[in-house]
Structure 1
């Protein structure tokens, strides 16, 4: 369990505090950003990764945990290493390209999961590797003319043209020449003359093709190159994110959302974090007038909130800008719930728009012990107390009941802290909440 001190509560990076996340792959779909990540196991001393995770946000600060819709078990032919993937939407389906170890050959290979929902569940689309040459880090780009490209590679950089079904390809995998003009000059290495290391992220903006990637292990920084076409020729453009952040790897993801540009990455910023226990974070940025990418540094504040949160519609308890002490799990009545709630833990929800005022609060809770209380605090974990709801014992951790309590003084827009209090040990589980006007 990741236990965080109260001090960093004002920060919003890293985005997830309940588990370690890595290798961000953001996707904009239907007014939300869906963030696909890897999952570093607690206490890892290697890249010990067995499943992938999904989170989503409409405001870039409050993220909803959708759990793990795909794991190594999804691919019967895979034996280990649920590493850095990438998801795209096409044909009414979501395709999740991931590197895993092929049981038959022992090589790293690229598999494809497919789902009709951005949050899964995902199934194995073809029952075998799509490509297999021992290299990793798939990225898919669909050009304006509909042609899709799969890029991947470490130590090389490969591409292949995908067919419109997104699960087969035409032609053979082709290496992109790693020239120093295209990908910069690496010093001190006789086997890798360029800065390119891994994790390509290819996209197109104003007719120019960008390839943002992890450079010069180890520790890595993020660099980029540009080209007039999707396969090159590439020209090295410089640094996006310098080496920093207590993880010797990094992994880029770049999107535009609601008129802003965002850069996703990972570091080791959580307690216990490091090169094998990483956490995804995000920064907002603005392209330079000539289309170049500015230098972006890691922050603990993250991007500004782009829309307030409506407390008068049902909100999932696993939606948070920051949390302390809790984890999430699959709920017996569907979706996810927050669990492992101890005295003093809390969930911060940022920018909650109460308007002219809330009069009541409703929550869905379950407890196999004697329960506890939810304090509704404004501004901080010790801020103005707007109400207290009692969560009773229900006879089981998935035996749910709905509770209500009055609310006073919740007007305007505030950060809401759902602070949990009670006795010792785990108090209760928490599924969803909603205020009444």
Structure 2
């Protein structure tokens, strides 16, 4: 008996975890930021069916950016990785710097728009391309066999494309780096563009402060146009916005709504926005740099709540470590 008591006393001093047959698995209630591991940037958040999807840039030196991954979730908390949904073996003209995917579903097909090669002038090969797949996780294959936009128009580098579906069903491409932003009317089959009534194809809609990373959405009949400011490798990368009655503007800068918090992270920018279907509930999906990191490519994807005030203005976003709560799609 003495030996048995001594053994029990000894075992209670060890730091073994205690398990109970009646205890249920711990249910994760918040995503935490980042929402998934790895260096990922420029995230496009979107809903397909009953799943949330995020399509980011693989954040690495340009010559290593030769593929893209995607992530899906039923509830914003638990994420599944889909590796190499597209790469340069499927897009022969793309050699490096595959950036900032934008994805839409149309006619049962999934179209992924992306920038590639980081061209610096009209003589270099590259620009904005498009790939297509039968499923949101791919595999995606080159749709055109060439870039959709391979030239500088109105001073805009052909990168950071976003595809916006207007209330009448018309799709527009909004894109541009180097502090210039264009809008163009896409053909129904996404093989090119339809000229505007005045004969132009690319209209400049650049607001004050614009650098890159455009995004547009509608709320209560208004067009919210958002973009990134500052340098992407620096701590002051951020997001600002404007509001107008048309996708063509004019867009007058309202304010900055996403930026660094010296207690949380730096370089918060290049975002997208998700609205929960049928609800006035919004999330901002963005990248940021941990306080411990100085490498420009060390960026991670995060999600936080985005809210509006009674006037319809976007409230400054509080970036968090906790992230967002579970939000299953019905």
Q: Identify whether the pair has TM-score above 0.5, normalized to the shorter chain.
A: yes
Q: Decide which of 253, 257, 261 is 1:236's aligned counterpart.
A: 253
1:36 aligns with 2:52: no
Q: Deviations over 1:174-221 (max 9, x none)?
A: 24243xxxx3xxxxxxxxxx3101000011111111111101335321
TM-score (norm 2): 0.79
Note if contact 2:266-2:291 (Cα within 8 Å) is conserved in structure 1. Answer: no
Q: Tell me the distance in 1 between the aligned counterparts of 2:31 and 2:44.
A: 22
Which residue of structure 1 lines up, in the alignment, with residue 114 of structure 2? 98
TM-score (norm 1): 0.60
- Bigger mean CA deviation after superposition, 228-237 or 99-108: 99-108
Q: Deviations over 1:118-141 (max 9, x none)?
A: 110101011101012243100000
Q: Tell me the distance in 1 between the aligned counterparts of 2:291 and 2:167.
A: 39
Indicate how the Cα distance of structure 1 residues 161 and 48 shifts in structure 2: closer, same or farther if over 3 A, else same. Answer: same
Q: Which residues in structure 2 correspond to 1:22-101 (within 5 Å)? A: 22-41=41-60, 44=61, 48-101=64-117
Q: Which residues in structure 2 correspond to 1:247-258 (within 5 Å)? A: 248=267, 250-258=269-277
Q: Tell me the distance in 2 between the aligned counterparts of 1:302 and 1:249.
A: 14
Q: Which residues in structure 2 correspond to 1:380-391 (within 5 Å)? A: none
Quote the offset at 1:247 in angstroms.
5.0
- Bigger mean CA deviation after superposition, 246-255 or 198-207: 246-255
Q: Deviations over 1:97-133 (max 9, x none)?
A: 1000289942550000111111101010111010122
1:136 aligns with 2:155: no
Indicate how the Cα distance of structure 1 residues 307 and 98 shifts in structure 2: closer, same or farther if over 3 A, else same. Answer: closer
Note if contact 1:108-1:136 (Cα within 8 Å) is conserved in structure 2. Answer: no
Note if contact 2:43-2:286 (Cα within 8 Å) is conserved in structure 1. Answer: yes
Q: Which residues in structure 2 correspond to 1:155-166 (within 5 Å)? A: 155=178, 156-166=180-190
Quote the offset at 1:75 in angstroms.
1.2
The number of equivalent residue pairs is: 282
Relative CO higher for 1 or 2, CA cutoff 8 Å, sep ≥ 6? 2
- Bigger mean CA deviation after superposition, 26-35 or 105-114: 105-114
Q: Decide which of 220, 225, 246 is 1:206's aligned counterpart.
A: 220
Quote the offset at 1:306 in angstroms.
2.4
Q: Which residues in structure 2 correspond to 1:21-420 (within 5 Å)? A: 21-41=40-60, 44=61, 48-101=64-117, 105-106=123-124, 108-133=126-151, 134-155=157-178, 156-171=180-195, 172-178=200-206, 183=207, 194-217=208-231, 218=234, 219-244=236-261, 246=265, 248=267, 250-258=269-277, 259=279, 260-269=281-290, 274-307=295-328
Q: Structure 1: give runs of 5+ residues left out of the alignment.
A: 1-9, 184-193, 309-437
Which residue of structure 1 lines up, in the alignment, with residue 32 of structure 2? 12
